[in-house]
Structure 1
């Protein structure tokens, strides 16, 4: 199958639900494949990592959006994403990222361990209290990370259930292809989020609090460090990115663990192995499957010449399964040495909340497996028909009985993972 046909298959509903076979069709043509006059696809780990760090490659800017997407400024969804740190290049990207970085320092993340664990315990209690199977996505994978990021932003607990639909609608705009109907849905989600944060900003302006929203409002009001559009756009992206990736990581990871019961039993008994497990889960079934870059100067990767203004799709999920980097890449192996998944990207746009997402997963998986030894999939999970953000729409599980209480040490952030 030639690269263009393989790419078309990848964009189909079947390809989006299970992209891994199609990645191998693309990989057969090399780690960097030309799929159009100035359109390239990257499946190699080394090449993906290098391009994401290469200053000659940036995200789509306004001039290129004007060229490829006329009228994009009329779309609340595209406008919200484009004005955030997610879709801006230096120096604007660096300026915006510095303003938010204080909420995600290693010291601050470390202090959140007990809070995350307490929230996870409460969610397991609610799962145990339910009668019959429960939807793991709605009952645990969504409320845990949304609770954590909303606490950082200062979003009231009562408002948190609103965000799942709004974010699901908005993130359709991150797909490599989107129809007019899908864009209309994304615009609706963006409009709801913009309206919500407009009100929250006004409230924090009247009464500042010790939260990230207040800090960004003060940065805006203090001068030219953050424009009004940038303020709203970054609040939206911080919220959505703060739970969407982790929600998918928890769902994808739980399925993988339940499919490998011996590995799951080991993690339940040894929560100190969680960091290594989580990195392998990120590699094995990445919650973020791709990102894109545009070249600003000639470059050469994988024996392929990339001219200026080349559009490059970096397949993170494929790179994480590059056999040149990871032998037997389709095998889940939490004892695999030197796992450095590209699921959170690399370079200047490396995910600001990566350490927080890892912490939540490192706490959640051992706790779930220890307290719920009978946890099992109950029925057929439903995958979202998305390629960029890979996850489940629903994941029905049977909870079983709670294990007898035992005293198990917590998992300190940054502790060593499994060793062979």
Structure 2
């Protein structure tokens, strides 16, 4: 239960609010777009203010240098924090622009276009599997049977992870994501550290294999822009300005692409179904019209996004939402709350796929806008269209269970009958 004696900004970090943060978001909006948590932190819930933080060069991501300055020894003690700190999501300019450009380079239009057919094939195979499990009319868990396996299959196919290894990744990538929680618990950080070490070792080995025997996959393409093999002909594989990916850069970002490529998309699928189970008219439109699927995915991203929180820090004295922000202040950006700002969205708590198109902040904004946003949207659009065309009478079959996290919001289980 939520402790209603707490300030809304403090209540964010309680278990009851992690289960359902929307009432706290509503209370925060009533008190203004920016709230002071303590002397070191402010919390941003307003859409315009969150967008400003994500775009302004005054507010920067917390790279490893910042973490070492504010929490000496923490990076060295936690391999998961070191891995995330060295990845593109924690990189600052100009390093960030170089790494992002190199990671984006192999994602050609032809490769991305081919992913839609792959998504369709994997979706239909998984729907066949759900039908087999539910042949006796009993319930199936949508999370285990579909929401996780689909993005795992697709991101592993894109990267070039062998099919036999794919089942190994789910728990490890989920454990790794705990390092992103704003108030990480020590037991969760221990799990994240073990996952980071195992994933780094796996991808270092796979990079070595692809360097020796390239294939038609993303890892092989990214190996070509790594500086680890700077032998004959390597200059032809460098970026136009000679920039390369270092070996550690390559491995940490492969781990990140794997984890981000399915953890958030799995939650997008489950969160979307959680809303749409109570909306038969929307399900019918999605089954008939792929364009309706796109509109519903857009509204799911606004209404119940997988990524609820990110953070930045102020590199100089500034002002935000009428509040003075001192240099060094850490800023917790509530993406989920910004997406429900009544100053930006009318009736923000109402799920309305027909509302006028407008960008949510679910994939961020500015230089760190999510590289995989188009892939996640495409997967969800294909999945929902096929899902409701195949099982129009799908219904909830028990009590769903939410994950006990604030930064990444999703379901641990979502039991359904297929009808």
TM-score, length basis structure 2:
0.92
Q: For 1:255 and 1:105, how far apart are their aligned partners in 2?
A: 34
**Contact in 2 for aligned 1:43/1:315 (Cα 8 Å):** yes
2:173 equivalent among 160, 167, 170: 167
Q: For 1:261 and 1:383, how far apart are their aligned partners in 2?
A: 23
Q: For 2:205 and 2:113, how far apart are their aligned partners in 1?
A: 31
Residue in 2 aligned with 1:37?
39
Root-mean-square deviation (CA, aligned residues, Å) is 1.7
**Contact in 1 for aligned 2:147/2:270 (Cα 8 Å):** yes
Q: For 1:368 and 1:62, how far apart are their aligned partners in 2?
A: 42
Q: For 1:298 and 1:129, how far apart are their aligned partners in 2?
A: 60
When structure 1 is superposed on structure 2, of 124-133 and 4-13 the one drifting more is 4-13
**Contact in 2 for aligned 1:104/1:352 (Cα 8 Å):** no
Q: For 1:127 and 1:101, how far apart are their aligned partners in 2?
A: 35
Give 1:5 shift: 3.0
Q: For 1:8 and 1:161, how far apart are their aligned partners in 2?
A: 38
Residue in 2 aligned with 1:404?
none
**Contact in 2 for aligned 1:383/1:394 (Cα 8 Å):** yes
The 5-angstrom pairing of residues 81-230 of structure 1 reads 81-105=84-108, 108-131=111-134, 132-220=138-226, 221-222=228-229, 225-230=244-249
When structure 1 is superposed on structure 2, of 47-56 and 25-34 the one drifting more is 25-34
When structure 1 is superposed on structure 2, of 295-304 and 322-331 the one drifting more is 295-304
The 5-angstrom pairing of residues 42-61 of structure 1 reads 42-61=44-63
Q: For 2:109 and 2:282, how far apart are their aligned partners in 1?
A: 28
Give 1:102 shift: 2.8
1:317-362 deviation per Cα after TM superposition (whole angstroms, max 9, x unaligned): 0000001111100000010002311100000100000000000011
Give 1:103 shift: 4.2
The 5-angstrom pairing of residues 202-281 of structure 1 reads 202-220=208-226, 221-222=228-229, 225-281=244-300
Give 1:4 shift: 7.6
Q: Could you list the runs of 5+ residues in structure 2 that have no partner in the other structure?
A: 231-242
Q: Name the SS for the 1:268 alignment partner.
A: helix
Residue in 1 aligned with 2:369?
350
State the aligned residue count. Answer: 400
The 5-angstrom pairing of residues 294-309 of structure 1 reads 294-309=313-328
Determine if the alignment matches structure 1 residue 76 to structure 2 residue 74: no
1:89-140 deviation per Cα after TM superposition (whole angstroms, max 9, x unaligned): 1111111111111344555423322221111011101111113211111111
Q: For 2:339 and 2:384, how far apart are their aligned partners in 1?
A: 21
Residue in 2 aligned with 1:292?
311
**Contact in 2 for aligned 1:3/1:35 (Cα 8 Å):** no
Determine if the alignment matches structure 1 residue 323 to structure 2 residue 325: no
**Contact in 2 for aligned 1:106/1:355 (Cα 8 Å):** no
Q: For 2:5 and 2:192, how far apart are their aligned partners in 1?
A: 29
Q: Name the SS for the 1:355 alignment partner.
A: helix
Q: Could you list the runs of 5+ residues in structure 1 that have no partner in the other structure?
A: 401-420
**Contact in 1 for aligned 2:363/2:373 (Cα 8 Å):** yes
Pair 1:365–1:327, CA change in 2 (3 A): same
Residue in 2 aligned with 1:362?
381
Q: For 1:382 and 1:123, how far apart are their aligned partners in 2?
A: 22
Give 1:309 shift: 1.2
Q: Name the SS for the 2:333 alignment partner.
A: strand
**Contact in 2 for aligned 1:23/1:43 (Cα 8 Å):** yes
Pair 1:103–1:387, CA change in 2 (3 A): farther
Q: Name the SS for the 1:182 alignment partner.
A: helix
Q: For 1:3 and 1:315, how far apart are their aligned partners in 2?
A: 21
TM-score, length basis structure 1:
0.92
Pair 1:42–1:99, CA change in 2 (3 A): same
Q: For 1:182 and 1:272, how far apart are their aligned partners in 2?
A: 40
When structure 1 is superposed on structure 2, of 130-139 and 236-245 the one drifting more is 130-139
Q: Name the SS for the 1:233 alignment partner.
A: helix
Residue in 1 aligned with 2:233?
none
**Contact in 2 for aligned 1:280/1:339 (Cα 8 Å):** no
